[in-house]
Structure 1
């Protein structure tokens, strides 16, 4: 367990890989802890310095029992963590809420972004997505390790994928990927509901961007991801067929292949 002070909160993180390699920062979604990226950390640690962490109000990071916040504050948490770890730039990969955080980082701290990968995320969450995420919160309080796939899987993943015993094993064995206290989950959800990364702000993103979507995603629909990719100059877009809200889990091999190609094409050049 490693914890560092990142601005106003203590952040629990996992740092693995090659110390002198280019850093890749993986940012988790609503309620999820760093284990959401286990498959990517295992795949990329031989080539990159990989950082994954628990957002505030998730996992072992600080919760904020009396403090409301916005996505921009979580973006600042991430940047403060990279400061504390001595990382002056990184490739940023964000899933769902983590993708919204990554957008804010690319807009507010462009000099620190080598490349951007947005996974099943949103500029502004649509009403259906909000309703689904409201439902996941109460389920999360019941989701002990062995029951996670039965309770939350049908919402987050494409139904066909739940016939895949490897996927079910991943969900059961990675710890508790939705590891947020109920109050913390609600605070994160309120931050998500406030977020609106307008088209004109997306258009200011200069980092090379890869946008990845699941064609059967109910939480962040394909159409919304397409709009994000269209708004960001020169963004590359790819959609996974028969895939729900977590292509990095449902189609790990193909996801990792696309991400690796993106990282290698955008090696950061120091001034």
Structure 2
């Protein structure tokens, strides 16, 4: 099991799939989710890209390592350490939700390492984001529930009405065996809440694609529009029949968007 050991002793799990020498794409997951939840994307991307995934601190195979609470800059530095371990000088950075915040930070702090960014279902910091009260209540309560309870309660905030229950259960079969602990979840939530990028996004240099579900009930589409407006030259795609987990709701569309974007920015 490949890991990279950070200066503070944290061991960050990562994995690479696809041909060496192909454009590198690193996928960064959201709050409390393991990298395994990219399972619908990795096979589609790995034919043409070297796909790198990692488990953020507090999630998946990395688990509850030192450093809590886990800040966005801390986890962005972990991404760069994984790229170093994978031997990749530059990569396209794709992040969803909290992972989109981490992707923004990587691109802002180290633009020379970033070929482009794809920001899925994300926002520029909680202080500037638009949230529904019921979504905020869900995030605050989730750590006290069992993984199955949290999965069931999150359905209206995660999945589109058109997404079959079977697809949700397929996700849970991948995600729940690697469920974050309450401590890991809270360490991510507490560490990322103070972060903001809004006053820096006008200086984001790598090409940026912002993708959001029209029906996102956890991080409403207004947040994606704000991110796109704030990044000069960015492109915005809003997907119909897509909630927060748009990677499941609109798998084919998301995969095609990423592949096309990477091809366009891999000269």
Using the TM superposition, give the Cα deviation of residue 178 of structure 1 relative to its aligned residue in structure 2, in angstroms: 6.5
Distance in 1, matches of 2:19 and 2:61, equals 24
Distance in 2, matches of 1:100 and 1:266, equals 21
Alignment pair present for 1:72 and 2:73:
yes
Work out whether residues 36 and 177 of structure 1, in 8 Å CA contact, stay in contact via their aligned partners in 2.
no
Q: Secondary structure at the match of 1:243?
A: coil
Q: Secondary structure at the match of 1:152?
A: helix
Using the TM superposition, give the Cα deviation of residue 130 of structure 1 relative to its aligned residue in structure 2, in angstroms: 3.5
Cα RMSD of the aligned pairs, angstroms, is: 2.0
- Ranges in structure 1 where 5+ consecutive residues have no aligned partner: none
Q: Secondary structure at the match of 1:61?
A: coil
Work out whether residues 118 and 211 of structure 2, in 8 Å CA contact, stay in contact via their aligned partners in 1.
yes
Distance in 1, matches of 2:5 and 2:60, equals 15
Q: Secondary structure at the match of 1:194?
A: coil
Distance in 2, matches of 1:249 and 1:134, equals 24
Using the TM superposition, give the Cα deviation of residue 154 of structure 1 relative to its aligned residue in structure 2, in angstroms: 2.9
TM-score in terms of structure 2 length: 0.91
Using the TM superposition, give the Cα deviation of residue 104 of structure 1 relative to its aligned residue in structure 2, in angstroms: 0.3
The aligned residue for residue 237 of structure 1 is 236
The aligned residue for residue 184 of structure 1 is 184
Work out whether residues 147 and 179 of structure 2, in 8 Å CA contact, stay in contact via their aligned partners in 1.
no
Q: Secondary structure at the match of 2:200?
A: helix
Distance in 1, matches of 2:170 and 2:79, equals 26
Equivalent residue pairs, number? 261
TM-score in terms of structure 1 length: 0.89
Q: Secondary structure at the match of 2:102?
A: helix
The aligned residue for residue 147 of structure 2 is 143
Alignment pair present for 1:53 and 2:54:
yes
The Cα offsets for residues 47-70 of structure 1, whole Å up to 9 and x where unpaired, read as: 111011110011111424673331
The Cα offsets for residues 87-136 of structure 1, whole Å up to 9 and x where unpaired, read as: 11100000000000000000000000001000000112245343332233
Moved over 4 A (4+): none
Work out whether residues 217 and 244 of structure 2, in 8 Å CA contact, stay in contact via their aligned partners in 1.
yes
Distance in 1, matches of 2:140 and 2:245, equals 18
- Ranges in structure 2 where 5+ consecutive residues have no aligned partner: none
Q: Secondary structure at the match of 1:55?
A: coil
Using the TM superposition, give the Cα deviation of residue 81 of structure 1 relative to its aligned residue in structure 2, in angstroms: 1.4
Work out whether residues 130 and 193 of structure 1, in 8 Å CA contact, stay in contact via their aligned partners in 2.
no
Query: Do the aligned partners of residues 47 and 166 (structure 1) sit closer, same or farther apart at CA in structure 2, a change above 3 Å counting?
Result: farther
Query: Do the aligned partners of residues 56 and 63 (structure 1) sit closer, same or farther apart at CA in structure 2, a change above 3 Å counting?
Result: same
Work out whether residues 5 and 84 of structure 1, in 8 Å CA contact, stay in contact via their aligned partners in 2.
no
Q: Secondary structure at the match of 2:82?
A: helix
Using the TM superposition, give the Cα deviation of residue 166 of structure 1 relative to its aligned residue in structure 2, in angstroms: 4.4
Work out whether residues 63 and 184 of structure 2, in 8 Å CA contact, stay in contact via their aligned partners in 1.
no
The aligned residue for residue 108 of structure 1 is 109
Distance in 1, matches of 2:72 and 2:219, equals 17
The aligned residue for residue 221 of structure 1 is 220
